[in-house]
Chains A and B, each alone.
Chain A
């Protein structure tokens, strides 16, 4: 019981930080290239701990993003669910593959994510050119190795602490 509570504190705080980063005010230039932080962190936890962070987490996180950003309720939740589903399906194959390969997969997942946001925007009548969605996608992919490294450290530190 105490173990599960402990193992949830660190992941939960990484989700919080991702949410904060996704709405913290920045200059216009930085806003245009802001990577989808919650999606990156979600992908990470799905790949390394699929038995704990799955579709329910994705749903909750997506709804939090929607509420915070004032987007259509369910838009980010839907996109997040789809990439998490892919993550759950392929995590066994991805967990041990080299970083270059996971980065390509993450690019694919973020592409799907951004495309769904773009598509829902289009259906809802809020047209944003897809060209403006490229930069977050590219920056997000480039940041993946960094996210992987940082979150790996947090997770290992956490596990070491619990085992002691």
Chain B
């Protein structure tokens, strides 16, 4: 209303109704395409670069706070922490020495059994951006993206176990889904007896469910579940959670098993991105080799 008449007059030329219909159609088209398949990831990437400054702005106070708490911490606290870490390091070193021997033995045994040995996975530390995604879904973004060769379907771990996997990759950031998302499932096996099943998210970051175990399945409270490596997304052998409740219902054919995730899904600040041996590019190369060979 304050703008000079010239500008107002110039803008009125296309009718509002027509413009509205056009833009509404575009946004509806976006939704349909985005929902049906993944053709929009390029568009999303462009938009994500545009909104990256906002993500930075949101994250900045939290980052500054963390930096301040570290750099303003008392010398005594730091010294104590340092010595604690050194102790821990020593303990781990000792354990690692034993590990090396066990690993070598494992490779030998596997060679005798003629099965493939597990190689060390390549990892990269990623920071969780303090950005709230949709509160009704268990998702978050991390500060690694295309430029770090992150790919869709990549597994995320933390110090305690499996955290989730990547569902969308943008240039500087990626979106990940927690294993506790109701739409997410992890193939697991019971560490005690090798029983394989699937752990499904509940929407609550403190619990998972095992819906596909029969009443007679050999599972007990306290059983450790590790990723089984089936499905090719999660590398095998990482802890997923511990069974905290088994309810066998006589009227039903399936037991109700609740699992507490091993990693602290709602408290993590840093996660590890894992490039497992079965990374998709490699697989692709191998299939190409097989095809071109004969």
Contact = CB atoms under 8 A, between A and B. Distances in A.
Interface string B35-67: 100001001100110110011011000100000
Contacts of B107: none
Interface string B109-140: 00000000000000000000011111111010
A32 B7 contact: no
Contacts of B1: 48-49, 51
B152 to A, nearest CB: 14
A73 B34 contact: yes
Given A19-B54, A72-B31, A73-B34, A55 B130 contact: no
B30 A74 contact: yes
Nearest to A88: B16
A53 to B, nearest CB: 11
A82 B3 CA distance: 24
A81 B27 contact: yes
Contact of A32 (B23, B44, B135, B141): B135
Contacts of B43: 73
A132 interface: yes
Contact of A52 (B3, B23, B48): B3
B158 interface: no
Nearest to B9: A51
Contacts of A74: 26-31, 34
Interface string A40-51: 000000001101
A66 B173 CA distance: 15
Nearest to B35: A124
Contact of A25 (B8, B11, B131, B136): B131
B51 A72 contact: no
B136 A68 contact: no
B82 to A, nearest CB: 30
A69 B31 contact: no
A23 interface: yes
Contacts of A69: 132-134
A74 B34 CA distance: 8
A51 B7 contact: yes
A34 B133 CA distance: 12
B168 interface: yes
B40 A73 contact: yes
A124 B12 CA distance: 36
B54 A20 contact: yes
Given A51-B1, A51-B12, 18 more contacts: A20-B57, A23-B133, A24-B132, A25-B58, A25-B62, A62-B27, A67-B51, A70-B141, A72-B31, A72-B34, A73-B43, A74-B27, A77-B27, A81-B23, A85-B16, A88-B16, A89-B16, A124-B35
> What 4 A-B pairs come out closest when comparing CB atoms?
A74-B30, A74-B31, A74-B27, A67-B47
